[in-house]
Structure 1
Amino acid sequence: MKLNDRTWTRWCLVMGMLTALGAEADPPPVNGAQGSRLHGSERFETVNIPLESFELAAASSGAACTKSAMMMGGRLVGSQVCAGANPPVWFLEGADLVGTSFRAPFEGRSVKLTIEEVRCHVDITGPAVACTAQNLTDGKAFWEYRVTAAMEDSPSQPLCPTGSGFALASPHAWSTGGELLPNPEYFTFACAAKNEGTASQPFFVGGGVIAKCIDWGYAPWATTFPQAVALDYHQLCTRMAMADYCGEGRSNTLDGTPLKFMNTQEANQLITGDLPATLDGYSLEAVWKVDDCGGVRPLCLGKKRWDTLPLEATCVNRKLVLAPRPTRPCESMDLSFHATETLLVSYSLFIDRSLVTFMDAATNSYVTTTAVTVEPLTVEGGSSVTGVHLDLDANGVADVTPFTAQRKEGPILSPKLPVDIRTRMGSFIKPLYRCENTSGGYLLTDDSQCERLPGYVLKALNGDQGIEGFVYSSVGVTSTGQRRPLKLWRSLRTPVVYVTSTQALTGFLFVRDLGYLPAVGQLPGRDL
């Protein structure tokens, strides 16, 4: 049987349905508010905008006029044709679009999107390119738009609540599962990130991955690559940027996470033979490929971007879970055999550690630490503490101790963050210090003087200068993500006994917040 495009699509859909029917039921994801989003517009994340809904700032008087809008690559262009006018056709682009609007279906109603301001976009790779007519035509420069969104029964609000507050116009539509739907009659506003660092040490937060992928050179229109390949690379890039290992539109990463990546051609120019396990201090994470049905999943997964985020919780279809497997090492892939394929290779840091609270029930004392061992058959990630044991001397062997694991407080940033990453994050992160006394008392605090408690000194492990890790110094007060403050508590019975925890403990008095755990949907430093 010869398969035409429609038959092939139907076959892929049927196979997908069969796979889903064979999957086990799974509870709702625990990290529903994703750390990285496609558009970065939070409430209006799934809005696809019909180009035909274009409205001018003011209706024309006199002559009969028609209006329309179109996407020319990354250029949003409006037009007005008025019979008998001179000239009969007006084109609007850039600042001429201020005051114009679009209407898009949203939650059973419609949302009005109004362009309030237009400026030349400065992408995250730099340097700035002026929005001259030639640069715009050549696709070297783009306009970006500050847009407000208004429902009939509520006041207008910024479409891009985080990042720079501006958005790029990007052609085509998107499904709620993060699938690019080629359709020239639609476009979306893709919120751009903001540099919260410096020019020499940038640290971009907020926005969405669509705008980032455009800046990285993987736009959903023909540029370096022909149109069909460009669409595949854009889909690959967005899945990779979100660490969407299951291809379901669910993120397995947090905003601001460092990442290195390259396409097939770049990899073959840089590397001969198998992929290196590390690249500039980053570890080989995954090789991403578009399959025959248009879906994107890793061919192999060497590591998760955040070890402490539960991979299974983001996969509605449990059969899509691709845990890191030594039996399918990415290092064994020789990309010279894939030279004509559309692939992306990602490298990421071992950026996080799991902070776990242990309790000695006999003495009602606690230890909170990342110094743990995990039993070989235990899958890291999630809230379970089964198979997690105390290892305070960090020798890789579980301590013989009355302390048992109570809960995972959450992730903290590793004390081994590269110096350049620590510099870029600057005041957005702060260290947690590990202190100990000769009686075995243990303290985790943001005070390098160990709260000035008698007998307590910094305890260094493997040259880490007594730093357990890093937490956010502050987080967004308006973000839809979680706020997870890590708190210091003091014993009511024994004033020199402290514990560090996100939760209140019986017999302990709250002292102060130490910082915030990196959390899904949250941005660092937004209320500094």
Structure 2
Amino acid sequence: MIGIHRTCLKMWIGAVMLTTASAFAEPPEPPEPPPTNGAQGTQLHGTDRFESINIPLASVEPSAPPAGVTCAPAKALALGGRVAALQGCSGGSPPVTSRFLEGPALVGTSFRAPFEGRSVKLVITDARCHVPIKGPSKPNCTPEEILDGTAYWEYSVTASTNDGTTMPLCPLGSGFALPVPNAWSAGGALLPNPDYFTFACTPKNEGTDELPFFVGGGVIAKCIDWGYPPWAGAYTPDLALKFHQLCTRMAMADYCGEGRSNTLDGTPLFFMGVQNAIAISTNGRLPKWLGKDNGYSLEAVWKMSACGDVRPLCLGKTRWDSLPLEATCVNRALDLHERTQPCEDVDMGALAGTTLLVSYSLFIDHALVSFRANGTSFVTTSAVTVDLKTHSWGPDVSAYGLDLDGNGVADVSPFVPMRMEGPLLSAKLPDEILKRMGKLITPLYRCSDGLGHYLLTNNSACDPRQGYTRLVVNGDRGIEGYLYSAVDTTSTGQRRPLKLWHHPTLGLFATSTEAPDGYTFVRDLGYLPSVGQLPGRDL
């Protein structure tokens, strides 16, 4: 095996394991699911502490049989969206020869999974019929619906560690989880393995059908409901696995394929397959915006490489301009198929027949970048643009330029980029999110004195004694974006304070997370969110 790329080797092993399922000739690809409204997430399973666990089916321990019945050790099976336990039995009146446990009959059944060098015990405490997040259907989980795959049981599960602590496996969202076959790597890769399954927590939609806002849960469950489960149904087994992996990477905005999210939980998403993407294209080029008031910006085209890695073919221009560098590509550089051109310039017609997904996002976070001129004058803003031909990725922000007039072209300016401060909640947060976050966030106002000096502050009057007034860009009322107004004391270090500084001699202001030379501290303005953090915890 010397010389085989590690990722290719992984996919070769997976292919061997799927040989039986893929041995027959594949029928023509069916029509893809229609374009879908959804919301991005930051976790695969939505279990917080237990994201890394894979559950051995062999660890099943069913509830006690009826009085007078003796049963052999149980065997568990995971198939499609189902998990069930089977036992051979004897005794009882009338005689019981076997037990088949699924749905409510699984309540009391436990599994044990490796966890942090020890193990965690998972106990099913309740069962109900899963209500999909997409569509009006409310199945009843009749035997016919279960058999034909139009309905699934979901389960409430507790997790108990060796130290005796017991907690809900799904701390947010619906509180229930779907059983999903196969295992997952720590880097978010789907690992076909018939001996394992996982629990995928389901989210709770606290928004509307038109503008969903999903709290809690994980992207695995979302992708299942969006029409991309990791098992055969509308697609062959191999194609179903590919679409599911594409979907989970897309839903987490996992641009580097490392299992690390580059979005904020609940970010509204609109996505489609290649057939629908070509249908909305003009001369093969995707539109830059979609939706009401062109609110959704082209985010990415997601494609699987020959070795099975999922990464974007490209990013949209707006995503490049708004993308924070925090929490991205820890172990490798951002490796796009199309490195120096945005998705708007890619010919979708040439990709007909390719297995891919196209995503549009209502971005709720933007990159906040500090610029400096003449060593003492500063401006901190999310009104930036990126030169893709010179962008080297990582901490280098030299490819960023000011775009204070909002025309998508770098301003002619003495200011040069200094530092990426982090993500900032967008000034265009949807009304549903603004309503829910309420007093937990505070606006930042973009101000100027008309003399080339700038101020970013939480004072809506822009410190008028200094001659500053709000600087409006594209009708945004001079609001740069939103900060958290208080730090989450349970997530120490996950949010950094953004501070206002003042130069006592020059009378100039600076807004940054670090003190500029010669400037003195004025006040804390609020806290920057962390990429991958869950605003849903604050709602």
Q: Structure 1 length normalisation: TM-score?
A: 0.79
Q: Which amino acid aligns with 2:361?
A: S
Q: Which residues in structure 2 correspond to 1:65-80 (within 5 Å)?
A: 65-66=71-72, 67-80=74-87
Which structure 1 segments of 5+ residues have no match?
1-6, 18-33
Residue of structure 2 equivalent to 1:524: 535
Q: Note closer, same or farther for the CA distance 1:225–1:177 as it changes in structure 2 (3 Å cut).
A: same
In structure 1, what is the Cα distance between the partners aligned to 2:332 and 2:462? 47
Alignment partner of 1:431 is 2:437:
no
Residue of structure 2 equivalent to 1:314: 329
Q: Note closer, same or farther for the CA distance 1:203–1:314 as it changes in structure 2 (3 Å cut).
A: same
Deviations 1:230-275 (A, max 9, x none): 2221122112222333434343333223322212344456668624
Q: Note closer, same or farther for the CA distance 1:305–1:190 as it changes in structure 2 (3 Å cut).
A: farther
Q: Note closer, same or farther for the CA distance 1:94–1:494 as it changes in structure 2 (3 Å cut).
A: farther
Q: Structure 2 length normalisation: TM-score?
A: 0.77
Give the alignment partner of residue 239 of structure 1, picking from 240, 246, 249.
249
Q: Which residues in structure 2 correspond to 1:97-108 (within 5 Å)?
A: 97-108=106-117
Residue of structure 1 equivalent to 2:286: 276
CA contact (8 A) 2:311 2:336 kept: no
Q: Which residues in structure 2 correspond to 1:369-448 (within 5 Å)?
A: 369-371=381-383, 378-379=390-391, 382-386=394-398, 396-400=410-414, 405-415=417-427, 417=428, 421-428=430-437, 430-437=442-449, 442-448=454-460
- Give, in angstroms, the shift of residue 49 of structure 1: 0.7
- Give, in angstroms, the shift of residue 155 of structure 1: 1.0
Residue of structure 2 equivalent to 1:26: none
CA contact (8 A) 1:197 1:426 kept: no
Alignment partner of 1:260 is 2:278:
no
State the number of aligned residues. Answer: 495
Deviations 1:440-496 (A, max 9, x none): 6643233434367575432223432212233455675545882234344577x5899
Residue of structure 2 equivalent to 1:468: 480
Give the alignment partner of residue 370 of structure 2, picking from 350, 357, 362.
357
Deviations 1:199-229 (A, max 9, x none): 6642114322111111111011222223232
Residue of structure 2 equivalent to 1:482: 494
Give the alignment partner of residue 293 of structure 1, picking from 307, 318, 328.
307
Q: Note closer, same or farther for the CA distance 1:135–1:330 as it changes in structure 2 (3 Å cut).
A: farther
User: Which moved further from structure 2: 391-400 or 239-248?
Assistant: 391-400
Alignment partner of 1:142 is 2:152:
yes
Which structure 2 segments of 5+ residues have no match?
11-39
CA contact (8 A) 1:392 1:399 kept: no
CA contact (8 A) 1:262 1:344 kept: yes
Residue of structure 2 equivalent to 1:210: 220
- Give, in angstroms, the shift of residue 167 of structure 1: 1.8
In structure 1, what is the Cα distance between the partners aligned to 2:406 and 2:235? 49
Deviations 1:298-332 (A, max 9, x none): 44444584643339951634484556422986631
In structure 2, what is the Cα distance between the partners aligned to 1:318 and 1:356? 20
- Give, in angstroms, the shift of residue 72 of structure 1: 3.6
Give the alignment partner of residue 349 of structure 2, picking from 318, 334, 347.
334
Residue of structure 1 equivalent to 2:54: 48
Q: Percent identity?
A: 53
Q: Secondary structure at the match of 1:228?
A: helix
Q: Note closer, same or farther for the CA distance 1:360–1:302 as it changes in structure 2 (3 Å cut).
A: closer
Q: Which amino acid aligns with 1:100?
A: T
Q: Note closer, same or farther for the CA distance 1:455–1:221 as it changes in structure 2 (3 Å cut).
A: same
Q: Note closer, same or farther for the CA distance 1:156–1:296 as it changes in structure 2 (3 Å cut).
A: same
Q: Which amino acid aligns with 2:368?
A: L
In structure 2, what is the Cα distance between the partners aligned to 1:446 and 1:96? 56
Deviations 1:144-185 (A, max 9, x none): 223222221241233223433332111111222322222222
Residue of structure 2 equivalent to 1:346: 359
Q: Secondary structure at the match of 1:245?
A: coil
In structure 1, what is the Cα distance between the partners aligned to 2:357 and 2:259? 18
Deviations 1:104-141 (A, max 9, x none): 12233221111233333333224351333143333333
CA contact (8 A) 2:203 2:214 kept: yes
